[in-house]
Amino acid sequence: MRYPNMLPKTLLLKAGNYIYDFGRDIDIALYEYYFKKSHPSKVINELIKYSNLDGGFGKGLELDFMYQGSTPLSTAIALDIFRRLNIFSNNHLTLEALEYLSSVKNYSDSWVCITSEVNNFPRASWWEYKPILKETYTLNPTAEIIGYFYLFGGGVYRNTVHQMLERCYSYLLHPENGNEMHELICLMRMVRMLPPSTASKFTRFLRPRLNNALCFDTKKYDTYVFTPLHVFESPSDPMYEIFRNQIEENLDYIIESQNPDGSWNVPWHWERDEHVFDKQFPLIAAHITLENIIRLKAFSRLSV
- Structure confidence at residue 201 (pLDDT): 96
Stated as kind and residue range, the H or E segment containing 8 is none
Q: Which residues of the chain have pLDDT under 70?
A: 1-3, 89-90
d(CA 248, CA 263): 20
Could you give the count of Cα atoms lying within 13 Å of 57 in the half-sphere of its Cβ?
26
- Structure confidence at residue 182 (pLDDT): 98
Stated as kind and residue range, the H or E segment containing 98 is helix 92-103
Q: Mind listing the pLDDT tens digit for each residue in 107-131?
A: 889 999 999 999 999 999 999 999 9
- Structure confidence at residue 4 (pLDDT): 83
| Neighbour tally for 89: CB within 10 Å | 10
Helix (H, G, I), strand (E, B) or coil at 154: helix
Averaged pLDDT score across all residues of the chain: 96
| Neighbour tally for 233: CB within 10 Å | 18
pTM: 0.97
d(CA 96, CA 102): 10
φ, ψ for residue 57, nearest 5 deg: -125, 150
Q: Could you give the maximum distance between any two Cα atoms of the chain, in Å?
A: 55
| Cross-strand bridge partners of residue 7 | 302
- Structure confidence at residue 1 (pLDDT): 42
Report helix angle 25-35 to 274-298, nearest 10.
10
Q: Give me the residue spans of the domains in the chain.
A: 1-38+214-304, 50-211
